[in-house]
Structure 1
Amino acid sequence: MTTDLALLTTAAGQWDAAAMKFESVQKDYESQVKAIASDGTWTGQANLVAAPNMRQTHEQYTAAAKEARAIASLLRDAHGQFTDLRGKLKSVVAEAEKDHMRIGDDGRATWTKRDDPAVLHDPDAPAAIAKAEDSWNRRIADAVRAFDDADQGVKLALTSAVQNTDILNGGLNGFNARAEGDIEKVEAREAAELATKLNSTGHLDAKDMAEMQRLFRDNGHDKAFSQTFLNSVGPDGTIQLTNKLTGLAYSDDKSHKQAYDAIQAGLAGTVSTATADTNSSFYDKWHEKLRQAGGKNFGSKTDPLYGYQSFVNLMGYSDHYGKQFLNDLGNDIIATEKKQPGMWTQWRRHPGLDQSDPLDHLLGVMSKNPDAATSFLDPGDSGKNDHLKYLLKDREWPKIATAGPGALVTMDEPTSKLGLGQAIEAAATGHAPLPDGALPNPEARHDQAQARVMHDTVELVDPGSSSAAPANLRRPLANALAEYSTDTHEILSAKTDYQDETGVWSDDGKIKMSVGRDKLLRAMRGLAEDPLAYATLHHAESRHISHELGGLTADAKLHEESNVLDKAGAVLGSYGAIREDVINDERSSAYTSADWKAKVAYHILGGAVTPMTIGPQKFPIGDALQRGVDTWAWAWSNDMKSHADTEANAKIADHYMDADRQMRLMIKGWAADQHISEGDHDGKNIIEDMTGKVMTGSVRGNVQAKNVFK
């Protein structure tokens, strides 16, 4: 921490001066010594012997200058790295000290307020303190390790710079004419040598393993390292390397799985860094070679393993890939599978291979870059991009094949369309797929590309009848559609300009999306086979209705009030029809009626009565999106607390999901916010009148929706 790093730049200057001296001496040697052997005045046997030695001496002066300048460059590079890393380490220490941590000479953090009276009498304090200290110790250890990794890299580069491997030019003790002045390029070549060794021998000793981890850990985000490494091993070598690492981690050497996975993560990071600049000559050449390797079989004829399968599996270890690279790779995989249908059929599960379908796996990786997902799936203004149609309608999705008695048996992969669902959610919403416990934001805004993805998805998943959507699409598509509640509310209410529009358009700066009401109902019905998907949509709609109610005041004009309430009733009536169709469908066997209702209840209440995450933001109970929902959900939740069986909870769910019951409770929540009491005559009349308007809309929406499902 106190080392004078400026000495590195001072030394670099001296090495530059040495290089200049070597060049000066070389000029004198060339003019005063070497010239004698070449000007024609000296002939004979002695000249024949001396001339090669003079030429080699002359070349050694060139090599000496090259080596000296490389060392100078390495020292300056080291100074920059060490200065940056020391600054980061000091910053972490300063942050820890602000958090009342004392950092010892050994780098360990100790909380300075252990003896505070409040802490001494808090039984939970020791665990909390230990957790905080461990967190800071990890951060400090990571910063120190980064410094050590860089130091090891400098040592490697300096050692490499002074080693002459050209025995014809100065021998092993001569100066290095090929000295490299870039630390990362030296490390990339070292990593490539280790990769080649692993590919050829199938094994690395503990020292080489540790070095390979360090090389990727220290340089995975460096462009020079990444491109130099990938250029050295090529796409074929990269795929062979990930296959070797996967085989070792999951079959041959499971005891070191963590180390192999760490190398895979570093290798994936290297790919993401190297391919970030798609306008480079490196990208063009490497991408073309990847196309060739992607369709190549790296397995056997009876147990094929294609390049794209392994390569995309490797990509799953990182999530920072550029949009263009992801789109290019998606296009390449589609082109490859169209040329050879059925090539992704899974004949045997390869240990460590998450998915045998590289396209679906890539879509999952793509979902972590929403802009890339939108770009890949957006049909565009002209509809020329047919990726979404290909994936939802035209593609023959890979199967699992097994040899049965006298016949070949095929079945769907359990993970089929998992990546597609994630990619559609990201593409239509503009954010990564929501984690468990997070709820869609029903008031979200979208751009035209995102809205086109949502529009065409609804159009394409419409089964034309009341049947289920593919299982792995239901929840992610429900998450996406729930963020279009402002649109679906208007479509299902069947009383707005949405009935006159179709597609995507802009209205006063807001992007709107509309599809046919029948199509939307059938698509929602298909998603609703999964109770959590239905609950997500119903809950989002309830929050939107609450938002609409929040826009009414006690003195709202009659037509404004009637419009809001009638539309709310019509939409909830439609949801009731969807619910009934799912429950009464004898073809549905995944859930019993009671179990389906109970799961809907748990999911809705789990998000309604606790502080929630909506999209990227936190919304506490009492927010405008929640006021009406609170009253409904709290009454429902309290009713369920006294029951513990599924049948009872299903009946309670029926009661509270009834459109009239739900809206009465939500209106009571709105009334309380407007200081209208059901306890007085006028207040009761207002609430009853508003509920009546909801009932009118509910009957209309329910009947119209049921007609669609006939």
Structure 2
Amino acid sequence: MSAAEDWKAAAQTFAKAEKSHDVRVRRALNNGEFEGQTVAGARIAAQANSDQLSAAESEAKALGVILSDGAARLKALVKLLDETEEQIRRDDLHISADGKVWSTESTEGSASRRTANAAEYRQSQVDNGEIESQAALSARVAKWQRRIDDVLQRFHNADIEICLALERAQKVSSNEEPDKFNAKASANVETAKLERGEELIMKLAGGTALDTAEREELKAITNDAARQNRLSRELLERVGPNAFLKLATYIDIGRKRIGHNNADYADIEKNIARMLAKASREDPFGGKWREDFRRYGMKEYSWHDEKGWKSYDVKGYQVLATIMSKAKGYDGDFLKDLTDDMLSMEKGREKSPWLLHIKLGDESNVAHDPLDAMLGIMSKHPSVATSYLTEEKLAALNDRDWNVTKVPADTVVRTNAWKEIEASDSRSGFGAALIAASTGRDPDSSQFPSGWPKHARENVRAFERIVDYYSDFARSENRDVPPQLRPFLARAMADYPHDVRELVLNPNDKAFTTEQNGLRSPLTKNVSYLMKDAVKDPEAFLSLHASQLALTSSELENFSAKDYRQPSVPLLGTARDAGQMLGIIDGMRGEAINQKTQDAEAYNDLIRLRTYHGVGALLTIIPHAGDSFQRILDYGLNGLVGGLNDEIASQGKKERAEHFSAGRRALHDLIAEKAAAVGVAEKETRNSSNVAREIDARARSGYRDGLGEYKFLPMK
């Protein structure tokens, strides 16, 4: 017999005992045959015994139901675990007893087929479609690891919640004797979970640290609640927005201070952010909490430096944006309304309401600029960013006061003077939202559609709107696009390489729409103008350059060995167009380098390039850039980075211009690589061969023309 059945049987036993007690004892005491003080006392004792038997029945029933339901819940999870494990094995992966997923590559194949270089052999198998790339394999392992981790987390949640419900079913109120049975025992695990979650959150929000067991309980409760809209809403409604913000501030301390179980608090932080995301989808929660946040958004809360000891005051909206950034999946109207509320709080003020006094090197992880942080959150919801960033909104965001940080005016001489500057990550959220609106994808996601993207109509119109606004803004105001936005605008353009090339290489054609995404030809002058401005930033330049190389790589895959041995007209046209486009981009960058007049500006570019996070980062933002392309991209762009470093380090303009041969070299090597992939021998693609000379001549001619033609592109 199971424990659940034991408790159900115990409940029946208690019920029978109560009935027997009532018949044999209470009825005898109440039949009127006995009276007096002793009998009155006996009646009271008999009633108490009857109440305890009834309470024992209630408690036993509750325990039986909790155990029965808990067993069913765990049984379902065991089935899910078995099914997931079977799916992992069917996907040719392995899983250990402790839940670790791993892969083993096949060692089949003749040793004679292998080259001395194992990496080259493996790459040849990838290129031939015999095996998947390492990146694809790692992604597959990671996907299943996340799946199995989630199942195991659900086991952990269930275990804690069942134990919690059992404990609360046996617990009597504090004003009663602890050894009594619980007459109000509840078998509702969900209610027990919500009540305990509220207790722990209010304790933590009040500034009292949780012990190990309490942290485990709160992690499990919030993790489970964050899986359902309704549960998230009910728990947050119990807590309220003010306690929610206070909770976030105490979690911030717990995450930072040494010895404060940082990982536990980080998990709780993510869970409550996910709870808010889920709850925001429930009516009328989203609208009500948005109104409540208007009341608490400008209230001051304590925040702490990176070590968790020095505190300073921040606004509620800054706390809210910080905690919300830990999750995604928010209701679109909730996001847009909160962002508008923050924008409205700035109107009519002489200075930004988000100003923080920060000593250099002492910045915290709080969202200095909550509006920018909200735009960053919006970028993880591309459809929301697309509908939000209208022309009017672009103007309002561009014109707002971005100076949200106050730092010492002089770091050498101690004075009381402060200066207002933009935050170190200023406009990063805004830039990410611009990319999301233009592409329809989260810019931080590594998930790309197969092949080159065919963008939705609303994203194409958003891209046109953004390009038009910033090019017109820069021209009409006779000033540059905000420098912080250049890498983001370049990444947006890098997602439209076909269209950008078609527009730029056909500047004088009559009205037309581009073949890939239907961009309208009047955009030509604005795309050209924005490209010329964007390449002033080295990272933006690399993004545009890489996207055109990637496009050329995919185009070259359409040609056979015959096309390379007897260069076909389409192949020669591709070589020329690619060379011309790269020449235009390089020419624009060359002018930007030559126009730099301040050593500090050039030095800043040099530092950025030296600390640039690598060519691999470009592959995560350029669609269609596969493994076979990466080797060329590595070579070509590493050459470009090196060349740019030399440009900046050189003193003479002439010397700087000479380094732009890297773009043409990358194109030449890309053509040779693609030819080799279809069986054209290396000697046939050397510079000395007639074949190579003809193809390379077209690429050189296009590149040379591009270097000169960029100046004559319509930009006004």
TM-score, normalised on structure 1? 0.71
CA distance in 2, matches of 1:407, 1:207: 49
- For 1:366, give the aligned amino acid: M
Question: Secondary structure, in 3 states, of the residue corresponding to 1:305?
Answer: strand
For structure 1, the 5+ residue unaligned runs are: 38-47, 117-123, 125-130
Q: Which amino acid in the other structure matches residue 241 of structure 1?
A: L
Identify the match of residue 466 of structure 2 among 438, 446, 457: 457
Counterparts of 2:612 and 2:95, CA distance in 1: 46
Q: 2:375 aligns with which of 346, 363, 370?
A: 363
Counterpart mapping for 1:81-480 below 5 A: 81-90=73-82, 146-165=154-173, 173=180, 175-177=182-184, 179-250=185-256, 255-275=260-280, 277-278=281-282, 280-299=283-302, 304-338=313-347, 342-348=352-358, 352-377=364-389, 379=390, 386-391=392-397, 393-402=398-407, 405=415, 407-434=417-444, 443-462=452-471, 463-464=474-475, 469-480=481-492
Structure 1 residues 317, 249: closer, same or farther in 2, change over 3 A? same
Q: Specify the SS of the correspondent of 1:298.
A: strand
- Pairwise CA RMSD of aligned residues? 5.8
Tell me the CA shift for residue 143 of structure 1.
6.1
Q: CA deviation at 1:240?
A: 0.6
Match of 1:543 in 2: 550
More displaced stretch, 325-334 vs 447-456: 325-334
Number of residue equivalences: 642
- In the alignment, which of 486, 503, 507 is matched to residue 491 of structure 1? 503
Q: Compared with structure 1, are the counterparts of its residues 579 and 80 closer, same or farther at alpha carbon in structure 2 (3 Å cutoff)? A: same
Displacement after TM superposition at 1:396 (Å): 1.6
Offset from partner CA, 1:311-339 (integer Å, 9 cap, x none) = 22112333444444333432332233337
SS, match of residue 221 in structure 1: coil
CA gap 1:691/1:287 in 2 versus in 1, 3 angstroms: closer
Instruction: Say if 1:77 and 1:238 are closer, same or farther in 2 by CA, change over 3 A.
Output: farther
- Paired residue secondary structure (1:519): helix
Q: 1:207 to 1:510 in 2, by over 3 A?
A: closer
Give the Cα–Cα distance (whole angstroms) in 2 for the partners of residues 93 and 561 of structure 1: 49
Mapped partners of 2:416, 2:401: distance in 1: 24
- Once the two structures are TM-superposed, the CA of residue 400 in structure 1 deviates from its matched residue by 1.5
Q: Measured at CA, do residues 700 and 199 of structure 1 come closer, stay the same or move farther in structure 2, by a change above 3 Å?
A: closer
Cα displacement string for residues 656-692 of structure 1 (whole angstroms, at most 9, x for unaligned residues): 336xx77676677777869787899985785487458
Seen in structure 2, the aligned counterparts of structure 1 residues 354 and 175 have a Cα distance that, compared at 3 Å, is: closer
What's the secondary structure of 2:266's corresponding residue? helix
Instruction: Please give the alpha-carbon distance, in whole angstroms, between the structure 2 residues aligned to 1:376 and 1:561.
Output: 43
Letter aligned with residue 346 of structure 1? L
Quote the offset at 1:552 in angstroms. 7.4
Does the residue aligned with 2:356 lie in a helix, a strand or coil? coil
CA contact under 8 A between 1:532 and 1:603: conserved in structure 2? no
C-alpha separation between the residues in 2 aligned to 1:215 and 1:330?
29
Letter matched to residue 317 of structure 1: K
Q: Is the 8 A contact 1:101 1:111 kept in 2?
A: yes
Shift in Å at residue 490 of structure 1? 1.7
1:74 to 66, 71, 84: 66
Q: Matched residues in 2 for 1:580 and 1:409: separation?
A: 34
Tell me: CA distance 1:112–1:394, structure 2 relative to 1, closer, same or farther (3 Å): closer
Q: 1:110 to 1:525 in 2, by over 3 A?
A: closer
Label 1:87 to 1:650 Cα distance change in 2 as closer, same or farther (>3 A). Answer: farther
Deviation (angstroms), 1:482? 0.3
For residues 472 and 342 of structure 1, the distance between their equivalents in structure 2, rounded to whole angstroms, comes to 19
Deviation at 1:592, TM superposition (A): 4.0
Q: Shift of residue 343 of structure 1?
A: 1.1
- Residue by residue over 1:187-225, the C-alpha shift from the partner in whole angstroms, topping out at 9 and shown as x without a partner, is 222122122223335333444334333433454424454
Do 1:63 and 1:175's aligned partners in 2 also have CA atoms closer than 8 Å?
yes
Equivalent residue, structure 2, for 1:128: none
In structure 1, what is the Cα distance between the partners aligned to 2:617 and 2:328?
A: 28
Residue identity opposite 2:436 in structure 1? A
Shift of 1:466: 8.6
SS state at 1:260 partner? helix
Separation of aligned partners in 1, 2:146 and 2:455: 40
The alpha carbon displacement at 1:455 in A equals 1.7
